[in-house]
Structure 1
Amino acid sequence: MSTFTILLGGDLIRTPLLDRQVEGSRVIAADAGIGHARMLGLIPELWVGDFDSVPADLPDDLASVPRKVFPAEKDMTDGELAIAAALERGATSLVLAGAFGGKRADHAFLHLALGVRLAEEGTKVLLTSGAQEGVPLLPGKAGFDYAGGTLFSILGFSDLSGLTVTGAKWPLNHVEVAFGSSLTISNEVKGRLEIALGHGRALLLAHPYPLPES
């Protein structure tokens, strides 16, 4: 398996879990995502984008990363271009670091939807901000080794059918979930989390570290 980390421009914090997830991967930065490389101690092999959001005062080793420059007026985001470059280089697994938050809610939504599409096409995908992470759910059964008490939601991108959730505070047994329903928001891991999906498009969004108290 060839794993690539794509550094996107959203929120990102460094955690021991994130370090393990990106360890040994090849790295491509999308425009402002190069700023995360400095925090993570990574040197990308490629830097992609229109370079309208380049961080100031980059160290020489990052400023000299090979660039693939695109015009500002284009029909793909810098993030999607970086993902395309990784797939061209043989990526079979992607860590989309900085996929959430940031100044552009439209880009964050795209990353979620794109992650699901890529998974359907056979690419393993993890979306992460360090504090929370997303895993596309395909029809079938999947297990997750999150600690007890971990908060999670299942985000539906369509109507869902045959959804079963075990190892959770609020289990579900072969239910139908309408698109836009909040039924699967804010659940909690109790034991080993297992999710089975009969039909539909969805994504598991989990908080592997405790949320700060409000």
Structure 2
Amino acid sequence: MGMTHERDVTDCVIFGAGEYYDEIPYVPHGAYVVAADGGLDHTRAYGIDTDAIIGDFDSVADDFSAYIGLRNITRLPSEKDETDMLSAVKIGWAQGARRFHIYGGLGGRLDHTIANMQMLARMAYHSGIGFLHGNGFVATSIADATLSFPGWDAPERRMVSVFAHSDRARHVSIQGLKYEVSDVELRNTRALGVSNEFLPDRPATISVGDGTLSITFDSAAPAPVWRTTREPEGPDALGELDTEISALLARR
């Protein structure tokens, strides 16, 4: 499986325009903070300072002219190929962040949720990790990596679900949860890993040796430790910002 890279990872916190479910966002000390479009309304409501603001600003409460003059603001066309959320991730990535905490990206519009899940897998493929927070759950994705949870006083029915995102995820092991497997293959056409559970005071690990997993877990669980065997990638790994109107746009 190769060498495991355990390294300090700069945090980035991204605020999206979606539902927050009365959850109070946590901003780690020294984290780079990005507001994606209508996420600017949420940062202002929480009194959180932003390092960068980006989007097409079609979902902010005020007219865009109200934000002209703010520092580190980037306006994107609305008819582009990438989401405002991915653009926000690219900004944080370029600043050196490889661990992302994303609020306002789960629930609400189903298409945006699916897009954000695909975004997590893209980040994992490039040796980063993202955590989508919302509605009592956290979603993440790992590629050729291990996610480790410390033991905690888990009540009954605190769920963890594991899905293959890649066509095949090989050498998958799940230890310390109610249902355990060792060195199995998962496919993205069968939800074999749904509705697993934390056990009280039992550390748990989820690992994949070859492929990408999507994982959801109860937000009450302690923050997991992430270790990957993939080589670190540089500031341009996710590509440049998508600042152009889509070439795929139908012309009338």
Question: Where on the TM-score scale, by shorter chain, does this alignment land: which range?
Answer: 0.7 to 0.9
The TM-score with structure 1 as length reference comes to 0.83
Query: Using the alignment, how far apart are the partners of 1:167 and 1:137 within structure 2?
Result: 18
**SS of equivalent to 1:170:** coil
2:189 is equivalent to residue 177 of structure 1: no
Unaligned 5+ segments in structure 2 are 1-8, 222-252
2:54 is equivalent to residue 43 of structure 1: no
**Aligned pairs for 1:150-189 within 5 A:** 150-158=158-166, 159-189=168-198
Query: Using the alignment, how far apart are the partners of 1:22 and 1:97 within structure 2?
Result: 14
**Aligned pairs for 1:20-35 within 5 A:** 22-35=28-41
Equivalent in the alignment of 2:17: 9
Give 1:204 deviation, angstroms.
1.6
- 1:160–1:201: 8 Å Cα contact kept in structure 2? yes
Write out per-residue CA displacement over residues 100-124 of structure 1, whole angstroms, 9 at most, x where no aligned residue.
1122x22211211111211221223
Give % identity.
24
**Aligned pairs for 1:192-207 within 5 A:** 192-207=203-218
Paired AA for residue 172 in structure 1: V
**Which has the higher Rg, Structure 1 or Structure 2?**
2
Equivalent in the alignment of 2:116: 111
Equivalent in the alignment of 2:133: 128
Query: Using the alignment, how far apart are the partners of 1:144 and 1:168 within structure 2?
Result: 10
Write out per-residue CA displacement over residues 183-210 of structure 1, whole angstroms, 9 at most, x where no aligned residue.
1011101111111223221122101239
Greater shift, 81-90 or 26-35, is seen at: 81-90
Give 1:145 deviation, angstroms.
2.7
Paired AA for residue 192 in structure 1: P
Equivalent in the alignment of 1:89: 95
Cα 1:4–1:63 shift into 2, 3 Å: farther
The TM-score with structure 2 as length reference comes to 0.71
Give 1:63 deviation, angstroms.
8.4
Paired AA for residue 16 in structure 2: L
- 2:124–2:212: 8 Å Cα contact kept in structure 1? no
Unaligned 5+ segments in structure 1 are none
Q: Which has the higher contact order (CA 8 A, sep 6+)?
A: 2
**SS of equivalent to 2:171:** strand
Residues paired across the two proteins, number: 205
**SS of equivalent to 1:187:** strand
Give the root-mean-square deviation of aligned CA atoms.
Answer: 2.6
